[in-house]
Copies of this chain bind each other. A is one copy, B any other.
Amino acid sequence: MGISERKEREKELKKSTMLKAAEALILEKGLDNLNMTEVAERAEVSKGSLYQYFESKKDLVLGICDKATTLLYEDVQKVLTQDKPGIELVHMIGATFMTFVTEHPEYFRAMKYHDNLKETNDLGGSEYLDSCSANTQGSFTCMVRAIQIGMQDGSINPNYEPKELALILWATSHGMVNMAYRHLNTQHFNLLKELETNLASLFDNFMKVVGCGIATDSQKDNYDSQSFFETNEKF
């Protein structure tokens, strides 16, 4: 009897509908103005039903975060399949983050929420937590791999500890991406508004700085004159 399987599928479908409703509302009004009553209305179910599928509001947002980190992880993994120098892979992973935030600000917002939850430590065991962590860890591991590749193919200075360098690139990229997010979602982000530059040029220069910082001596000249990645899709 395939009845329980069908039910399982229907359950996932309903969850998905609810998540999409929440995502749309986050895009429209921001995560801070998200409320469960509206999510229920948008998903065309009752509030009680919503709570049958998600144990709390936190859990719901974590469900979005799970989708988000899964998507990002997939994108980052795709980068690693390419046959390029490690330092270019690092660049492309950074660009992947950047593209992600411009295309899915609501996902990025959910990921920030997740980070924030972990800080307060009151995350009451959502089923999504482990998956989010695994995805994030996975993306991070891709960064480590890219660095190791670069150290082996001679494009990245091997005097760094790969994981430590990955952590630095992770943190700095997230700083850049967060700035991009704020620029795209805030009426008046003071620091950028007085600068008539665009995000793509800013990111290019970020990569120039970092690229020069982590490259081997023989590669350094590449970063002084021209933009590293001319053919990169722009955001």
Main SS of chain A's interface residues? helix
A176 at the interface (CB under 8 A from B): yes
Range for the number of chain A residues in contact with chain B: 35 or more
Selected from B121, B187, B195, B209, the residue in CB contact (under 8 A) with A121 is: B187
Whole-angstrom distance from the CB of A55 to the nearest CB of chain B? 18
Selected from B32, B120, B175, B192, the residue in CB contact (under 8 A) with A33 is: B120
Find chain B residues with CB under 8 A from A140 CB.
190-191
Find chain B residues with CB under 8 A from A182 CB.
115, 118-119
A4 at the interface (CB under 8 A from B): no
Contact with B along A107-119 (1 / 0, CB 8 A): 0000000011011
A131 at the interface (CB under 8 A from B): no
Stretch in A37-45, A59-67, A76-84, A165-173 with 4+ CB within 8 Å of B: A165-173
Cα distance A172–B169 when bound, in Å?
9
Q: List 26 A-B contacts (CB under 8 A).
A: A30-B122, A115-B182, A118-B182, A119-B182, A121-B186, A121-B187, A136-B191, A137-B191, A140-B190, A164-B195, A164-B197, A164-B201, A164-B205, A165-B205, A165-B209, A167-B179, A167-B195, A168-B176, A171-B179, A172-B172, A172-B206, A174-B178, A209-B214, A210-B210, A211-B213, A220-B220
